[in-house]
Structure 1
C-alpha cells in the first residue's frame, strides 16, 4: 500500500472555507468518493470526497480550520485491501434553504434508488435493513414535535444529505451529542421508511398519507436475457430530487405560443454579419433575456417558499441567476448564469456555450451549479410540441421550451406563415396562482415577439 495526500478539489471561487464537520477518523476504511469533511461558505455547503478507496492515515484539519482548493486535509493508504461495504455518495452542493416540513413517508420511498449503502439490496430488488435500525416515528410523535416548535438539530452537510434522499429532518430521531442528527440517524430513518406500511401518515397528520404501493419486485430474468447497467451519479441524485419535487410541490403547467418570426430573422442576420468575429447568438440567450425582464415585472416568480421558519414566508430575491438544463452523457445537469439580467444577449450566448461544454466534459465546478432563481429547460433542438417540466426546488417555477414550428396564423384578412415557439411554464401553486402564471407566460411570449419591449 502507498500513502497519498488528501487535497481539497476544485470548489469554485471559494477560498478560506471553514471546516464545519469531520466525518472520519484515522483507521477508517472508506470507498472512493465517500465524504470525509464538510465545508460551509456563506453561500453553500459541500463535502470533500475521498479521492480513492483506502484507509484513512490521519486527518490534519479540525472543525473551525479554513481551507482552499489544494489544501491538504489528511493522508490515506491506498492499494490492495479486503473489500468493504460501499459508503454513501457525497452530498451535492446545496443552498442553505431547507425543504418544507410537509414531506410524507412517500418521499424517502420514492428515493429508494438512492438509499444509503448501509441498506443492502438483493438481485431481486428487496431491501434488508442492517442491525440497529430504528422504527419510523409515529404520526403522534411527529405532530407533537411540530406543534411544540421543535427544530431539527443538524449540520448543513446533514441537511444537504437529507435533501438528497428526500428526508424531512423534523421526523428523524437524533442520537448524536446534544440531540444532533447524524448520518446514521438519517440512514436508519430511510431504512425504517422502506419497511413501514405504505399507509403511514404525513407529518401534518389528519390522514395526509399518500398510501403508495410498494415498488414492484420483478425477476426480469424469467422473461429473457437482461443487462444490468449501473446508474450514473447524476441520475442517482436526480432521481431522489425529482421524486421529492414531484410529490411535494403542487405544480400546474401552463402553455403559451410565442411568435418568434421576426426574432429568428434578426438572430440569423446578426449571426451572418458577425460570423467572422465568431459571434453566434442562440435562441436560448434571447429567452434568458426575456425571462429576466419578466422576473422583474412579476417578482413572486423570483422567490422561494420557506415553511421551516416559525412564521412561514416568501424569500424574495434581489438577484437574477438563471439555470438552464444541459444534456450530458451522464444525464441532465443545470449550470447557472449569474446576474443574467445585467448581461447582453451576446454575452449570455457565449456563457451558455461555455457552461454547456464544461457540463458535457464533466468539468463544472460546484459554484457553477448553485444559486439559480429560475430554470429554463429547452428541448427545441431535439423536437417536441410541449411538455410539463418538474420544478427545481427551492425555485417556484420552471420554463420548458419546445421546438419552433412554422404555422399558419390568421392576421385578420389572411393566413400568414409564422414561426411559433411553444412555451410550457410549470409553477408552484402554493406561491403562484393560475392568473399570475398565465400573465407571466404571456408576457414572456410578448417579449420574444418584439424584443424591443425588453428596453421598456
Structure 2
C-alpha cells in the first residue's frame, strides 16, 4: 500500500527528514517522515503495519497533499490489494471520460503562445540594483541568454533566460532595487508550453494507485548525479567566502553556487548543469584548490519520457522509481551524519534543545554549527525558522574570520600578539575587506624573498608631448590614452631582451625558468583593495590596442567582473601611483615573479644639458627584484635601458 501526504494545512511542505529505511518493519502510527513548512513541523504516521518496500521521496523535496511518500508491504492486506488492483480496470474505464476533459483543456496551451515570467534568482543578498538591461522588447532570445545585469556590494550577476522566445515586456528599469522573486522580464514562447500537458497527464489515471505512483516519477526526473568541482582559480588555494545555494535548491546552468576568494580576486563558481542540489561538500571559510568536490547536483532529465513509461500501470512506475529513490536515501543519511556529528559540542546541543524550534531547524543548526540561542527569531512565540538560521550564517560570514587571521599570523613569521591599548585611550576596530584579508598570506611570502629596489628617472618630455598630440583623436574614439600604455609597450619590448626579469626561480633553486610569452600584470586599485588583472602579449600589440585593453581590464576590476583567466599567468607586474603623489616607493615582488616596476608621478625638474638647466618632465621608476635571480648590475642596466626607450620611443621601431 502507498502512504501519501495528508492534509497538513498548507499548500506545500518540505521533506525535512526521512525517519525510516527500506526494509524497516513498522507498526501502525509509527512516524515515517518529518515534513516542515513555515508554519509547523509535522510527522506523518503510518496508517498500517508492515515493511517499508520503497521510499519515493528524498530530503529537501517539496510535497503537497496526496503526494506518495513511500510504499508499504503489509502481510495480511497484500492479497486483497492485488485483488483490488485486478478489479480496478472498470474504474479506470469509467474515468476515461473525465480524463479527456483536462487533456482537451490543455490542448490550447500547446498551440497558443505562453508568457513566461523570468524572476530574480537567489543571488546571495537581500537586494540588488538593476545595472543594465541587456535586451529590448520584441527581441528574440535563446535559453540561457543573459537578460539583465544585477549588481550588489558583493558581486555582479547576469540573469539568464529560462526559455527561448520573444521579449514580451520588461518589468524593471535601470537603477531599480530588486530582490529574489521579483519579475524582471516576460518572455513570449510557444515551446515553453510543452510542460503544461505533463501536469494533466499525471492526473490522467484517476485511480489513486496510478495517480499517486506517477507523482514521484516527476520527482525522480534526475538523469544522474553530477559532481561540481572547484575550477582553475589561477591560484593554489582560495577561501570559500559564501555558499549561495542550499541542499534541495533547484539550479540552472551557469547559476552561481559558491563564492571563493583568493589574494587576487573574488570568483563565483557556476553550475555546469541544471538540476537539484543534492549535497554541498564545502563550508564557509574552508580553504580549497582546483579539483576539490564542491557540490553534487541531480541533473535534470526529460520529464516526458518517464511519465509516458509510467502511464501503463502502477507496476512499471514502482519498478522505475525504487532503484532511484532508495540510493538517494542511502546517500543523504551518511552526509547528514558526518556533517552534523562534530559541529557542536554536547553542551551547545543541550543549549539548542532549550530553544523553541522544529526538528528540521535543529538538524540544520547541527550541520552548520549554529547555536540557536544566538539566532534572532522571526516565528510566532519566538520560534526559530530556517530563514533565521540562514540569515544568522550570512551575517557571520561578513564578520571577521578568525581562521584566516591565524593563518596570516603564522605566515608572518610568528609576530607576537598586540599589547592591550585600553590604558592608552582604547581602539576602534575597522574590519579589512575580504580581498585585503585573503591577500595577507600572499603578501607575507615576500618575507622569504631577498628583495632590492633600483631607482631611476626617465625623461618623458617628448613622449608626453606626443601623447598630448594623439589623445584628442583617441578620445573621439572613446579611448583613454595614458602614459601607462607607452610604459607597458616599452617594458614588454625590453623583457624580450632581458628574459630573466620575466622568469621564475626553479623550486630546487638551481635554475631560472624562462617564459616563452610575456603576460603583464597591471595593478588596479579598487574600493575592496588592490587586484592585478593580466594584459596578454603586450609585445605583440600596438599602443592603441594596449590602451583599449588597459581601459577594459581596469573597468572590469572596479566592477568586480574579472574572471579567473583575467588574473592568471603574469610573469611581470607594473604598479603605478598615478597622480596620487610621492617621489618613489619600493613595490613588493609578487611571487612567483622575480621583478616588479613601480611608477611614481612625473614632475618638472631642472636638468643640466651641458650648457644650462632646462625644465624636463621626469618620471620616477622603482624596479624591485629578487636578488637570488637578478644581480644589482643587471637591474641597473634594465632600468637604464628603459629610461632610454621612454626618452625616445622611436627606438622601438629599430
What TM bracket, shorter-length normalisation? 0.5 to 0.7
Aligned match for 1:349, one of 547, 561, 567: 547
Aligned match for 1:242, one of 443, 462, 467: 443
Distance 1:392 1:263, change over 3 A: same
Aligned match for 1:321, one of 516, 519, 535: 519
Q: Matched residues in 2 for 1:385 and 1:419: separation? A: 13
Aligned match for 1:331, one of 529, 549, 554: 529
| Corresponding residue SS for 1:39 | coil
Bigger Rg, which one: 2
Q: Matched residues in 1 for 2:558 and 2:408: separation? A: 36
Partner of 1:371: 569
Note the alpha carbon deviations across 1:104-138, whole angstroms, 9 max, x for none: xxxxxxxxxxxxxxxxxxxxxxxxxx99xxxxxxx
Q: Matched residues in 2 for 1:277 and 1:191: separation? A: 50
Partner of 1:52: 243
Q: Matched residues in 1 for 2:408 and 2:239: separation? A: 28
* Mean CA deviation greater in 343-352 or 329-338: 343-352
Distance 1:193 1:44, change over 3 A: closer
Query: Would you say the 8 A contact 1:5–1:75 is kept in 2?
Result: no
Aligned match for 2:611, one of 413, 417, 423: 413
- In the TM superposition, what is the alpha-carbon distance from 1:340 to its structure 2 partner? 1.0
1:230 aligns with 2:431: yes
1:388 aligns with 2:590: no
Distance 1:51 1:374, change over 3 A: same
Q: Matched residues in 1 for 2:422 and 2:562: separation? A: 39
Query: Would you say the 8 A contact 2:240–2:288 is kept in 1?
Result: no
- In the TM superposition, what is the alpha-carbon distance from 1:87 to its structure 2 partner? 3.2
| Corresponding residue SS for 1:262 | helix
- In the TM superposition, what is the alpha-carbon distance from 1:56 to its structure 2 partner? 4.2
Note the alpha carbon deviations across 1:273-296, whole angstroms, 9 max, x for none: 443233431110000001001101
- In the TM superposition, what is the alpha-carbon distance from 1:230 to its structure 2 partner? 2.1
- In the TM superposition, what is the alpha-carbon distance from 1:214 to its structure 2 partner? 3.6
Partner of 2:418: 217
Partner of 2:506: 306
Partner of 2:454: 254
Aligned match for 1:87, one of 249, 274, 284: 284
Partner of 1:82: none
| Corresponding residue SS for 1:412 | coil
Query: Would you say the 8 A contact 2:584–2:620 is kept in 1?
Result: yes
Q: Matched residues in 1 for 2:562 and 2:590: separation? A: 18
The equivalences for 1:40-439 within 5 A come to: 40=232, 52=243, 56=247, 70-72=271-273, 75-76=276-277, 87-88=284-285, 91=288, 214-224=415-425, 226-245=427-446, 247-308=447-508, 312-439=510-637
Query: Would you say the 8 A contact 1:5–1:76 is kept in 2?
Result: no
Query: Would you say the 8 A contact 2:607–2:615 is kept in 1?
Result: yes
Q: Matched residues in 1 for 2:429 and 2:418: separation? A: 15
Partner of 1:203: none
- In the TM superposition, what is the alpha-carbon distance from 1:271 to its structure 2 partner? 1.0
Distance 1:70 1:451, change over 3 A: same
Q: Matched residues in 1 for 2:418 and 2:274: separation? A: 43
Q: Matched residues in 2 for 1:342 and 1:192: separation? A: 41
- In the TM superposition, what is the alpha-carbon distance from 1:378 to its structure 2 partner? 0.5
- In the TM superposition, what is the alpha-carbon distance from 1:90 to its structure 2 partner? 5.2
Query: Would you say the 8 A contact 1:388–1:424 is kept in 2?
Result: yes
Q: Matched residues in 2 for 1:318 and 1:399: separation? A: 20
Q: Matched residues in 2 for 1:327 and 1:359: separation? A: 8
Q: What TM-score do you get using the length of structure 1 for normalisation?
A: 0.59
Q: Matched residues in 2 for 1:229 and 1:192: separation? A: 19
Higher RCO (C-alpha under 8 Å, 6+ residues apart): 1
| Corresponding residue SS for 2:552 | helix
| Corresponding residue SS for 1:72 | coil
CA RMSD of aligned residues (A): 4.2
- In the TM superposition, what is the alpha-carbon distance from 1:55 to its structure 2 partner? 5.3
- In the TM superposition, what is the alpha-carbon distance from 1:72 to its structure 2 partner? 3.3
Query: Would you say the 8 A contact 1:287–1:448 is kept in 2?
Result: yes
Partner of 1:39: 231
Distance 1:59 1:320, change over 3 A: farther
Q: Matched residues in 2 for 1:424 and 1:224: separation? A: 39
Distance 1:403 1:312, change over 3 A: same
Partner of 2:149: none
Note the alpha carbon deviations across 1:394-413, whole angstroms, 9 max, x for none: 11100000010000000010
Note the alpha carbon deviations across 1:423-454, whole angstroms, 9 max, x for none: 00001111100010000011111100000111
Distance 1:77 1:38, change over 3 A: closer
Query: Would you say the 8 A contact 1:447–1:454 is kept in 2?
Result: yes
- In the TM superposition, what is the alpha-carbon distance from 1:194 to its structure 2 partner? 6.9
Q: Matched residues in 2 for 1:48 and 1:193: separation? A: 13
- In the TM superposition, what is the alpha-carbon distance from 1:314 to its structure 2 partner? 1.5
Query: Would you say the 8 A contact 1:305–1:431 is kept in 2?
Result: yes
Distance 1:419 1:89, change over 3 A: farther
Note the alpha carbon deviations across 1:372-417, whole angstroms, 9 max, x for none: 1100010022111000000011111000000100000000100010
Distance 1:59 1:398, change over 3 A: farther
Distance 1:279 1:214, change over 3 A: closer
